[in-house]
Chains A and B, each alone.
Chain A
Amino acid sequence: MNWNIVLAATIKWVFMVLVFGLGVAGILTWVERKMSAVIQDRVGPNRASILGFRMLGLFHPLADAIKAFTKEDFVPDGANRVLFFLAPLIALVPGMLAFAVLPFGPGDNLVIANMDSGIIALLAITSFGIYGATLGGWSSNNAFAMLGSLRAAAQMISYEVSMGLNLVGMFMVFGTLSFSQIVYAQGHLLGGWLPEWGIVVQPLAFILFMAAALAENKRAPFDLPEGESEIIGYNVEYSSMRFATFFLSEFFEVVLIAAIVTVLFLGGWQIPWLDPKGIAGGWIRVLQVGAFVVKTLFVIWVMMLARWTLPRFRYDQVMKLGWKIILPLSLLNILVTAIVLAML
């Protein structure tokens, strides 16, 4: 075993997850609040200050973190302590691990684990997130939390199917299960001008995948399992750091989903119409990683926009949407893709 590879991978993972993922997720809590404030014609958080500097409320995430750390760590009576402790971690860790297979730049170096079947591996890793939500509710020894986790489990199982099925069309078009190769393939220009991005060749899959991924992440408008404002969710008994972990995992997954969508459908780090010859060797990579980050942030912005502009679905609507609309459409997408590919 080559320890250098392990070391390099660890460093990359730390950079990717702790710096990029965690950093963006932290900022996102602020962005989300500010954005909701703008949409709802409010001012938003602006009170936290250090030495009188308010910085548009940028210190609020920091204050939140301190608050979460210092609050009482409450464990309900009759809870299953081990699982109660593990559930938030199970929710958080898969999202962190999943970054390992995403390429954020060209070549073998700018991806942690360049797996041959990376997309399947990613689906496998993220499917563990379900355990976090379900076990959290189950171990709380609270009927409402239990119901919330049942809702969460049913919703996530349902949408996981559509999520996977929507990627099948991508596999068929690009003929690979590897993220890196898909990104490389998206560098082609169709007809010399149209970038062969996933969104261009598989527009239906893009929309359906976004919807399914939002539902999988239990974010609005699919936030039934938690329903912060009205419905009691699976994390009702959680407080302090453990609740913060659930909260963080949600934002982490937002970043993750945005990154996946970027890589699969928006060309990853590819910058279309850019002639790399004109730029000095190192800078092209910086530009491309930058493009990846910008695209990811854009997708995050779209997701937040969805959250603050769409009303929440009712539970039966969520199920109906998943099984009766998204799933058949995904199958149709596969069928049409197959026919088109066979004819070409």
Chain B
Amino acid sequence: MSAEMIVFWILAIGAVLGALAVVLPPFGRNPLHGALALVVSFIFMAGVYVQLSAFFVAVIQVLVYAGAVMTLFVFVIMLLNLTPEELAQPKYSWYKVLSVFSALAIGFIVASGLTHVLVHFHAASIPATFGNAASVGGVLVKKWLFVFEFSSILLLSAIVGAVLIARKRRS
């Protein structure tokens, strides 16, 4: 196994374990633990991004997800002072079971499809500047200019929406 492969496995296993800790009931019973596990998972995923030469995206991933989004989660969990769902037995309705099975089936189908399809791909040779701030910025303001600009409307509507829902009513 090459060094890159070892690094990949470490990162992958870390990311998957973190994600599992969020989702699986025995670990993720306390939402705060789930949130922290997710932070760890995101950091490992940022490591995978670095391995894929996406430096700037990796940094933004850490900044936005681990730094901002998950902080918000932790804040809300603390604000609501949520207790672990110890007493709550998970209800297994048919559609939940069905959806889990279909999710697993989809995962299996894709995984089997991948082995046929993706072997055709070989890593393209990339310039040294691939994925740095300048190149990503260039893409954003050239190729995705309007999409980039319009995302400001998206963010603004999210802010307004959050304020509308969660604020105290003016009397």
Which residues of chain A (115-170) have a CB below 8 Å from chain B?
115-117, 120-121, 123-125, 127-128, 130-131, 134-135, 137-138, 146, 149-150, 153-154, 156-157, 160
> Which secondary structure dominates chain A's binding surface?
helix
A117-B132 CB under 8 A given contacts A123-B63, A128-B67: yes
- Inter-subunit contact A153/B132 (CB<8 Å): no
CB distance from A89 to the nearest CB of B (A): 13
A1 at the interface (CB under 8 A from B): yes
A177 at the interface (CB under 8 A from B): yes
- Inter-subunit contact A127/B68 (CB<8 Å): yes
Complex Cα distance A138/B77, Å? 10
- Inter-subunit contact A134/B59 (CB<8 Å): no
Q: How many A-B contacts at CB < 8 Å in the complex? A: 72
- Inter-subunit contact A153/B75 (CB<8 Å): yes
The answer, among A125, A131, A177, for a CB contact under 8 Å with B74, is A131
Cβ–Cβ < 8 Å partners of B134 in chain A: 116
A157-B72 CB under 8 A given contacts A116-B132, A146-B78, A150-B79: yes
Complex Cα distance A231/B119, Å? 62
Q: Which residue of A lies closest to B7 (CB)?
A: A1
CB distance from B46 to the nearest CB of A (A): 9
- Inter-subunit contact B75/A150 (CB<8 Å): yes
Complex Cα distance A238/B6, Å? 40
Q: Which residue of A lies closest to B43 (CB)?
A: A128
- Inter-subunit contact A134/B75 (CB<8 Å): yes
B66 at the interface (CB under 8 A from A): yes
Which residues of chain B (19-72) have a CB below 8 Å from chain A?
32, 36, 39, 55-56, 59-60, 62-63, 66-68, 71-72
- Inter-subunit contact B63/A124 (CB<8 Å): yes
The answer, among A1, A83, A154, A160, for a CB contact under 8 Å with B68, is A160
Interface size on B, residues (CB 8 A): 23
The answer, among A120, A146, A153, for a CB contact under 8 Å with B59, is A120
Cβ–Cβ < 8 Å partners of B62 in chain A: 121, 124-125
Cβ–Cβ < 8 Å partners of B71 in chain A: 127, 130-131, 134, 153, 156-157
Contact code string B84-120 (vs A, CB < 8 Å = 1, else 0): 0000000000000000000000000000000000000
Complex Cα distance A157/B36, Å? 17
Complex Cα distance A154/B78, Å? 11
- Inter-subunit contact A138/B72 (CB<8 Å): no
B5 at the interface (CB under 8 A from A): no
- Inter-subunit contact B133/A127 (CB<8 Å): no
Complex Cα distance A177/B75, Å? 29
CB distance from A90 to the nearest CB of B (A): 10
Contact code string A245-266 (vs B, CB < 8 Å = 1, else 0): 0000000000000000000000
CB distance from A167 to the nearest CB of B (A): 12
Cβ–Cβ < 8 Å partners of B79 in chain A: 150
Complex Cα distance A183/B128, Å? 23
Cβ–Cβ < 8 Å partners of A157 in chain B: 68, 71-72, 75
Which residues of A come within 8 Å of B, CB atoms? 1, 83, 115-117, 120-121, 123-125, 127-128, 130-131, 134-135, 137-138, 146, 149-150, 153-154, 156-157, 160, 177
Nearest first, the 5 closest Cβ-Cβ pairs linking A and B are: A127-B67, A124-B63, A124-B62, A117-B133, A116-B132
A-B contacts, 27 of them at CB < 8 A, read A1-B3, A116-B56, A116-B132, A116-B133, A117-B56, A117-B59, A117-B132, A120-B59, A121-B62, A123-B63, A123-B67, A124-B59, A124-B63, A125-B62, A127-B66, A127-B68, A127-B71, A128-B67, A131-B71, A131-B74, A134-B74, A134-B75, A135-B36, A135-B74, A150-B78, A153-B74, A160-B67
Known: A116-B132, A127-B68, A128-B66. 7 other contacts (CB 8 A): A116-B133, A121-B59, A124-B63, A124-B67, A130-B74, A134-B75, A153-B75
